[in-house]
Amino acid sequence: MNTMHAFRDEGMKSAFREFLELYPDFVATYPVDDLRAKEYSRVDAQHHIYLDYTGGNLYADKQVREHHELLRNHVFGNPHSSNPTSLAMTDLVEHARHYILEFFHADPEEYVAIFTPNASGALKLVGESYPFGKGDQYLLTFDNHNSVNGIREFARARGAQPTYVPLELPDMRVNESQLSEFLDLARPGGKNLFAYPAQSNFSGVQHPLEWIEQAHQKGWDVLVDVAAFVPTNRLDLARWKPDFVPLSFYKMFGYPTGVGCLLARKSALKELHRPWFSGGTITVASVQGDTYYMADDEAGFEDGTLNYLTLPAVEIGLRHLTAVGLDMIHTRVQCLTGWLLENLQAVRHSNGAPVVRFYGPLNIRARGGTITMNFYDPEGRFFDHRRIEAEANARKISLRTGCFCNPGGGEIALGLSQTELAGCFNQPQERLTLDDFRLCIDGKSFGAVRVSVGLVSNFADVYHFVQFAGSFVDRRK
Ligand SMILES: Cc1ncc(COP(=O)(O)O)c(C=O)c1O
């Protein structure tokens, strides 16, 4: 299907023509429009404008169909046994595991794939098992997801020092010479862990994967959170060698939820000490002998029974992404993001003031399809992000507001200082609600609006969002 014919709106048609002149590479991604019409038709039939791919991806009808057919046509038992139904399941689970490694070009001699409930589950495995000791270091960038921030509590409890690497405005990138100084903090002979997102779920910034080797050279183990990166970018573990790589599969292909994975280098995994043992993680455990032996590799990290029936759907999802082509998805996301950034900047009040101000890079160099912003009136007063969300909801636009579980990104972007935040945390009441926080820091927004494009985004999605932004022209707070 030629996308142009799908537009009834004349304004959209001419905007699309201009878009193609600026982004001719988009033409090569037309197969995605066909795919959307065939496999994701419910989105358009129900008039949804889906702009929350960083929150979660959408699934193709055929992923669900194929998975359900598999379940309906076979008899599967718990993979912990050696009976025929169990062996059939084990076969599929191990197939999925191998396919994950293959998808990321990870050598099975070097990496293992550990199934977890989600990226947070993968991060918790690292946090609770990393052998931090007194004087060790946990270094992380400001723009990490809370599940990476949370590892600092494990670090601190064992006497290690958490240190945050700041970001520079307006692009929200790290100053690399400053990073190099932070990397010098590694305790010689100690356990030092450096964590950063390959793509920030706040600003869309893609931090260099070259940092992995730089950090290794200076004595760090490296955790790269790829949860927001891998849905639209190729991660090649034959080229890059991070020690710990957490991700959630629903962010890559929508279905199934409830499964993530920790890709871990075997050499780094050997250094981890799990704080307990459980069903599935030991070779032998004795009650009277009061002893246990941990299982090797991934088995030592998968507690209890896996969510086994869903695991074949992970392979189905990865094969779906492979069939579409990550390069095609990447190109499409780049084109749509570039156009969105340019056209949102052009939305102006009559007095020339911008309607939208961004947090993150304004061009597509080293950034993904996540764009975070706030809306302003002609006098430069921000609209509460909850109001923007309510109005977007009314148009069936799915976007995200708040801080996206990325408080450090939010604090830098919104200019919330340590003194202001400390003032809030020192209020007389024990626990502040988010609304208390809002009132506490006068005159500053306490959240932002995030849109993100992905796998089956199309031109109409981004066009509608620019129209939506246009509806705020000359409106007063
Ligand atoms: C960069 C990043 N890391 C980690 C996570 C946590 O993922 P999950 O909630 O699936 O555990 C997210 C989710 O939004 C994310 O964007």
Query: Could you give the CA distance from residue 78 to residue 29 in angstroms, rounded to a whole number?
Result: 41
Q: Under a CB-based contact definition with an 8 Å cutoff, are residues 200 and 370 in contact?
A: yes
Under 8 Å between Cβ of 321 and 334? no
Residue 473 to residue 421: CA distance in whole angstroms: 33
Q: Does residue 201's CB lie within 6 angstroms of at least one atom of ligand 1?
A: yes
Contact 105, 237 (CB under 8 A): yes
One pLDDT digit (tens) per residue for the chain, 477 residues: 556 566 778 999 999 999 999 999 999 999 999 999 999 999 999 999 999 999 999 999 999 999 999 999 999 999 989 999 999 999 999 999 999 999 999 999 999 999 999 999 999 999 999 999 999 999 999 999 999 999 999 999 999 999 999 999 999 999 999 999 999 999 999 999 999 999 999 999 999 999 999 999 999 999 999 999 999 999 999 999 999 999 999 999 999 999 999 999 999 999 999 999 999 899 999 999 999 999 999 999 999 999 999 999 999 999 999 999 999 999 999 999 999 999 999 999 999 999 999 999 999 999 999 999 999 999 999 999 999 999 999 999 999 998 899 888 888 888 887 777 766 766 666 666 666 666 665 666 678 999 999 999 999 999 999 999 999 999 998
Q: What is the pLDDT of residue 373?
A: 96
Backbone angles phi and psi of 148, in degrees to 5: -90, -40
- Closest C-alpha among 230, 391, 404 to residue 317: 230
pLDDT of residue 409: 86
* Residue 129 C-alpha from the chain's centroid: 23
* Rounded Cα–Cα distance for residues 343 and 340 (Å): 5
Is ligand 1 within 6 A of the CB of residue 364? no
DSSP H helices, 108-219, are 119-129, 146-149, 151-157, 176-183, 211-217
Looking at residue 8, its pLDDT comes to 77
* Helix, strand or coil, per DSSP, at residue 376: strand
Quick check: 259 and 311 in contact, CB under 8 A?
Answer: yes
Using most ligand atoms within 8 A of CB, pick from 144, 225, 248 the residue to mutate for ligand 1: 248
Ligand 1 atom showing the smallest separation from residue 55 Cα = 14
Contact call for residues 197 and 144 (beta carbons, < 8 A): yes
Active-site residue, from 261, 335, 403, 405: 405
Four-residue CA torsion sign, 378, 384, 385, 389: negative
Quote the CA–CA distance of 86 and 71 in Å, as a whole number.
Answer: 14
CB of 57 within 6 A of ligand 1: the answer is: no
Q: Residues, the chain, total?
A: 477
Distance CA 140, CA 149 (A): 8
Residue of 53, 120, 146, 230 to mutate, ligand 1, most atoms within 8 A of C-beta: 120
**Residue 307 alpha carbon to ligand 1 centre in Å:** 19
Q: Does any ligand 1 atom lie closer than 6 A to the CB of residue 145?
A: yes
Active site residue 405: yes
Q: Is the CB of 144 under 6 A from ligand 1?
A: no
- Helix, strand, coil percentages (3-state) for the chain, rounded to 5, are 45, 15, 40
Query: Residue 443: its pLDDT value, please?
Result: 63
- Cα distances (angstroms) measured from residue 105 to each of 93, 102, 116, 234, 449: 19, 5, 20, 10, 35
**Residue 262 carries which side chain, given as an amino acid letter?**
L
The residues facing 52 across adjacent strands are 452
Any ligand 1 atom below 6 A from CB of 120: yes
How much distance in Å is there from the Cα of 337 to the middle of ligand 1?
A: 21
Q: Rounded CA gap, 162 and 194, in Å? A: 10
* Calpha distance 467→445 (Å, rounded): 23
Looking from the CA of residue 197, the nearest atom of ligand 1 is 1
